[in-house]
Amino acid sequence: MSRPRILIVEARFYEGLADELAAGAIAALERADADHERLAVPGALEIPQAIALAGETGGFDGYVALGCVIRGETSHYDIVAGESARGLMDLALTRGLAIGNGILTVENGDQAWARARVAEGNKGGSAAEAALALIGLRARLGELKR
């Protein structure tokens, strides 16, 4: 099997958190000897659409969605958190895309950093590992089909 080709789609709304999540994802992909590219989007709501557009190219084996949604004073948090997750799940289920979801949904910045830090929660690394696991699963199931 050739090296998996992964697209990291990262929401840049919280740049420091995005960089830390990406660092974890990249380290995990490099450990797995996977090729990767990075694509920046403004916020978490744009991640599913970017993955959908990239999925149409057929150029990637899997995707890592990275971003952060921090609860504020309005219901906007609920919309962004729910719709970004729903969008990713819809893509996974209807198009069979291997997507590791590393979009943090947290109450505050402290929670976000605890989950994003490579030395702590390393959710970027976990999302990359999930995408790789799904790629492997798809390959195994494809062999059963023969």
Say whether 97 counts as a known binding-site residue.
no
- Residue 36 catalytic? no
**Cβ contact 61:4 at 8 Å:** yes
Say whether 44 counts as a known binding-site residue.
yes
Please tell me which residue in 76, 86, 96, 139 is annotated as part of the active site.
76
Of the candidates 72, 54, 71, the one whose C-alpha atom is nearest the C-alpha of residue 63 is: 54
Say whether 101 counts as a known binding-site residue.
yes
Say whether 45 counts as a known binding-site residue.
yes
Residue 118 vs residues 45, 68, 100, 121, 144: alpha-carbon distances, Å = 24, 15, 16, 6, 36
Say whether 60 counts as a known binding-site residue.
no
Say whether 79 counts as a known binding-site residue.
no
> What is the C-alpha separation between 48 and 145, in angstroms, rounded?
29
Q: List binding-site positions.
A: 13, 44-46, 68-70, 73-74, 101, 115
Q: List binding-site positions for (2S)-2-hydroxy-3-oxobutyl phosphate.
A: 73-74, 115
Catalytic residues: 76
Q: List binding-site positions for 5-amino-6-(D-ribitylamino)uracil.
A: 13, 44-46, 68-70, 101
